A = this chain, B = another copy of it.
Amino acid sequence: MNEFNEYFKSAFTVDNIIFGFDEGDLKVLLINRGEEPYKGKWALPGYFVYPNEDLDTAAKRVLEELTGLQNVYLEQVRTFGAVSRHPFGRVITVAYFSLIKISHYNIQPSSIAKKAKWHSVSQVEDLAFDHKEILGACFNRLKWLVRSRPVGFELLPPKFTLTELQHLYEAILETELDKRNFRKKILSMNLLIDLDETQEGVAHRPARLYKFDKEKYEKFLAEGFSFELKESKKKEKKPRKKVRANLA
């Protein structure tokens, strides 16, 4: 395998893009690097994958080592491999992403992370490496996700108002949504259970509370969001010549 030696001089890393939601604001978890390159800079929590380690395992390990975050569901998003993205040599990085409820987790920086802190996504400026680009790509993926399937209900309290749900979508989509249209769409999906309760102890007129129908949601994801296609049930098939002729 001598002719292949030139290929075996690369390294790869994992980078975790952890989006968090809290009180109407969409945030991303960043670390402040205590190691070169980019010492002192804010960066995504990421590091080299060990030679004998799977990618998914590495993503979890690195996240925990750098930020203390455990038991976070990480999903691979995309691999970034621009030739000069790392000053030490050719390093491609596999990006993993998650969307979590900030108040459920404790952040504890260690290893190469001097600090670990939530930053408002809209206010993130310069980052180490190509991390700004990676963050942007993952944010776009998240926007695409919420437009193509219901996402993020688990980020809300167990009982929530439609306004709270709308604020979550507005934070992700970075836009103000039309209230009536939003409610119509959301309710037509039949994913919410009207609790027949209203808010308590609020200064304004108490709003109606909903919870999320987890069973319907799982079914939804399994079958496809809206382009739900029924498999044919041969037994039930009856000749419908007339209808067929009209449609043909």
List residues of chain B with CB within 8 A of the CB of A53.
Answer: 83
Determine whether A48 belongs to the interface, using a CB cutoff of 8 Å to chain B.
yes
Determine which of B52, B54, B185, B231 lies in contact with A177 in the assembled complex, contact meaning CB atoms within 8 Å.
B231
Complex Cα distance, B172 from A121, in Å, reads: 38
B79 and A54 contact, CB distance less than 8 A: no
Query: Is A180 close to B, CB under 8 A?
Result: yes
Partner of A149, one of B52, B92, B227, B231: B227
* A119 close to chain B: CB less than 8 A: no
Q: Nearest Cβ distance between residue A105 and chain B, in whole angstroms?
A: 26
B94 in contact with A147 (CB, 8 Å): no
Q: Is there a chain B Cβ closer than 8 Å to A232's Cβ? A: yes
Of all A-B residue pairs in the complex, the 10 with the closest CB atoms, nearest first, are A147-B224, A226-B226, A55-B81, A7-B11, A181-B230, A178-B232, A178-B230, A79-B79, A7-B48, A176-B232
- Taking CB atoms and an 8 Å cut-off, the chain A residues in 194-220 that contact chain B are 205, 207-208
User: Does A49 reach chain B (CB closer than 8 Å)?
Assistant: yes
Q: How many copies does the complex hold?
A: 2
**A107 interface residue (CB < 8 Å to B):** no
Kindly identify which residue among B80, B177, B240 contacts A232, using a CB–CB cutoff of 8 Å: B177
B150 A227 Cβ-Cβ under 8 A: yes
Could you write out 18 A-B pairs with CB less than 8 Å apart?
A7-B48, A7-B51, A8-B9, A8-B89, A9-B51, A10-B10, A10-B51, A12-B81, A55-B80, A148-B148, A176-B231, A176-B232, A177-B229, A178-B230, A178-B233, A179-B244, A180-B240, A182-B229
Known: A10-B10, A207-B248, A230-B178. A90 touches B51 (CB 8 A): yes
A12-B12, A247-B162 known; A225+B178 contact, CB < 8 A? no
Given A7-B48, A88-B1, A173-B229, is A248 in contact with B55 using a C-beta cutoff of 8 Å? no
- The answer to whether A124 has its CB under 8 Å from any CB of chain B is no
State whether the Cβ of A125 lies closer than 8 Å to any Cβ in chain B.
no
Instruction: List residues of chain B with CB within 8 A of the CB of A243.
Output: 180
The docked-state distance in angstroms from the alpha carbon of A48 to that of B90 is: 13
Q: A161-B248, A179-B244 are in contact. List 15 more A-B contacts (CB 8 A).
A: A7-B49, A9-B11, A10-B51, A12-B92, A79-B79, A147-B223, A147-B229, A148-B149, A149-B227, A150-B227, A177-B232, A178-B229, A180-B247, A182-B230, A226-B226
